[in-house]
Amino acid sequence: MIKWFNNTELSGADFDLLRGSELLVTMMHNKLVIVVGKPMSGASRLPVDDIGLAKCAGLYYIRPVAKNKGTFEILFEFRSDLAIVQEHLTLCKLKQD
């Protein structure tokens, strides 16, 4: 039996390989910073499905911002993926209010 998964999240090692590339420059232009209100258990990870990342077509990289455990930076290959996540987060926020 063979199993495979479509995983578009880059690992730290993958991200290191992109240094100096045009793709990295593009991803730096498509950046989103998310601040999580409550500290999460295992604060080095974001819930991918909860913030809409599962809908992304391109690559993305998530990294915690060192100064604050509840703050994350997400870099996207495609601006359209950034828009998808922003829209998803906006809808989630509207449901909370």
The pLDDT > 90 percentage for the chain reads: 40
The pLDDT score that the predictor gives to residue 45 is 64
Q: How far apart are CA 69 and CA 20, in angstroms?
A: 28
The pLDDT score that the predictor gives to residue 74 is 93
Nearest to 55 by CA among 29, 88, 96, 28: 88
Q: Is the pLDDT of residue 97 over 50?
A: yes
Question: 65 vs 3, which has greater pLDDT?
Answer: 65
37 three-class SS: coil
Q: DSSP per residue over 63-83, as a string?
A: EE-TT-TTEEEEEES-HHHHH
- Work out the mean pLDDT of the chain and round it to a whole number: 83
| This prediction's pTM | 0.80
Q: Is the pLDDT of residue 22 over 80?
A: yes
